[in-house]
Amino acid sequence: MDKIRIIGGTPLKGTITIGGAKNAALALMPACLLTDETLTLCNLPHLVDITTMAHLLGQHGVAMSMNGAADNGGHTGRVLELTAGEITNTTAPYDLVRRMRASVLVLGPLLARCGRARVSLPGGCAIGTRPVDLHLKALEALGARIDLREGYIAAEVTGRLRGGQIIFPQVTVGGTENALMAAALAEGETVIVNAAREPEVSDLANCLVAMGADIAGIGTGTLRIRGVDRLHGAVYSVLPDRIETATYALAAAITRGNLELVGTRADLLESVIKLLTEAGARVTTTERGLRVDAETDAIVGVDIMTEPYPGFPTDMQAQWMALMATAAGASMITETIFENRFMHVPELARMGARVNVHGASAIVRGVPRLSGAPVMATDLRASVSLILAGLAAEGETVVNRVYHLDRGYERVEAKLAACGAVIERVKDTSPAE
């Protein structure tokens, strides 16, 4: 497995172009299953998770063609045409679903279009048990019969799904997305109460509207969907990745550098910008995106609590911890979304971070300087938090098992190196395990 080697201590300076949002793309791609016409998605990031979703859709019978690549000022956002003329297979196999939980997002559209779907249960993952019970309850509220057998979710409906009321007891991004796609083709009106308000959910809803769906309340906690008989093709551009944006914003802060992040939108990460400003960085919007300047600032400890959007994103918690490990003073980090999302703590501790975990909270006491060390990545956001720590640390850090990183960050080492980071990928040349 590849490793990333970093010699820390250089303040990052320059420009980084932000790509399309991975999590939006992973919901937009399965939306192609809802129509026999072509859905063209622009600004797709080039990531392993996107390739995994493409494989999954391919084996359902979706024809795909990469139709050139639109150049967005250094970021080559891909343009992908997806055509589900005929769905040849309604099973999402274990082998693909186990690699990526978002595979479960084919369930709603397959069921709505074909009246049946069989999707492997995703199982546990590094950051918690992450069940799909709320996805299933939502589809049941639309008239689906659901059976769990042999490790698979078997969902069926006679005739069409029927509109209904879905009340989520807890905010779920994927659950809302599956419900939205299913309801778009259901008969009658569906109301989703306590819907996720994440920008990626709104991106999906806007794309469905471009495909002919009737959805009101986009961006709010209550979505009203009037089902239509059929959806048509559309051309839709994926929104910028707010987590990639926020990660590089923190890279500027942790190295006490100055970066302009282009091709992105500050309004997608207001909670992070507010806290980063409180911590001492100067964040300004520019014509092309935003600038984070921490060159002369002392970063101070600021508490955060992860919450559904518009709160502080759980996908930024590990990176925030890395920043706080270098701040003056203490900070408390509380994780309310996933029960086991502190696996980066022992690795950061190997680099000299002072962190104590008590249940869902961690107290971080900043140190003047982290020190480089060999560390191991356990999930996507944990991996990038170790990269951030390595950029700030004294000496050499080697982040092992970086395949997680390639799932969610495009050309991370190239983007950082272009801004002065001393960072390289060490290719694994040992025989496959």
Q: Which residue from 132, 205, 382, 391 is in contact with ligand UD1, where contact means CB under 6 A?
A: 132
Quote the CA–CA distance of 223 and 177 in Å, as a whole number.
11
CB of 319 to ligand UD1, least distance (A): 13
Could you tell me which residues come within 8 angstroms of residue 115 by beta carbon, excluding any fewer than 6 positions away? 156, 157, 158, 159, 160
Query: Is 173 an interacting residue with respect to ligand UD1 (CB under 6 A)?
Result: yes
Token pair 């967005």 in the structure block, residue: 72
With residue 334 as reference, give the H or E element that holds it. strand 330-334
CB of 381 to ligand UD1, least distance (A): 8
- Pick one of 123, 131, 151, 329: the residue that binds ligand UD1 (CB under 6 A): 131
DSSP E strands in 51-181: the ranges are: 63-72, 75-83, 91-92, 116-120, 145-149, 152-156, 165-167
Among the options 32, 42, 114, 125, which is catalytic?
A: 125
Which residues of 30-120 form beta strands (DSSP E)? 38-44, 63-72, 75-83, 91-92, 116-120
Q: 338 or 342: whose CB is closer to ligand UD1?
A: 338
Question: 74-108 burial, b if ≥16 CB within 10 A, otherwise e?
Answer: ebbbbbbbbbbeebeebbbebebbebbbbbbbbbb
Sheet bearing 75-83, strands edge to edge: 63-72, 75-83, 38-44, 234-237
- Least Å distance, CB 418 to ligand UD1, is 26
Stretch that binds ligand UD1, among 40-48, 128-136, 286-294, 318-326 (CB under 6 A): 128-136
SS3 for 291? strand
Catalytic (active site) residue 419: no
Using the minimum distance from each CB to ligand UD1, give the nearer residue, 67 or 194. 194
The amino acid at 395: G
**Under rule CB under 6 A, residue 175 binds ligand UD1:** yes
Cα–chain center distance at 355: 26
172 binds ligand UD1 (CB under 6 A): yes
3-class DSSP assignment, residue 25: helix
Smallest distance from ligand UD1 to CB 330, Å? 26
379 makes contact with ligand UD1 (CB under 6 A): no
- Closest distance between ligand UD1 and the C-beta of residue 202, in Å? 13
Binding status of residue 170 toward ligand UD1 by CB under 6 A: yes
The least CB distance from residue 8 to ligand UD1, in Å, is: 27
Least Å from the CB of residue 371 to ligand UD1: 30
Stretch in the footprint of ligand UD1 (CB under 6 A) among 83-91, 166-174, 364-372, 384-392 = 166-174
Judged by CB under 6 A, the residue of 57, 134, 144, 249 near ligand UD1 is 134
Relative to beta strand 38-44, strand 234-237 is parallel
Q: Looking at 77, 143, 174, 390, which residue binds ligand UD1 (CB under 6 A)?
A: 174
- Residue number with CB closer to ligand UD1 (94 or 226): 94
Q: Does 23 bind ligand UD1 (CB under 6 A)?
A: yes
Task: Determine, following the binding rule CB under 6 A, whether residue 245 of this chain makes contact with ligand UD1.
Answer: no
Report if residue 128 touches ligand UD1, rule: CB under 6 A.
Answer: yes
Residues paired with residue 394 on neighbouring β-strands, in sequence order = 371
User: Interface residues for ligand UD1 in 317-376 (CB under 6 A)?
Assistant: 337-338
* φ and ψ at residue 225, rounded to 5 degrees: -120, 120
User: Nearest 5°: CA angle at 109, between 108 and 112?
Assistant: 85
- What is the rounded distance in angstroms from the CA atom of residue 213 to the CA atom of residue 310? 25
Catalytic residues: 125
- Using CB under 6 A, list all residues that contact ligand UD1: 23, 26, 101-102, 128, 130-135, 170, 172-175, 200, 314-315, 337-338
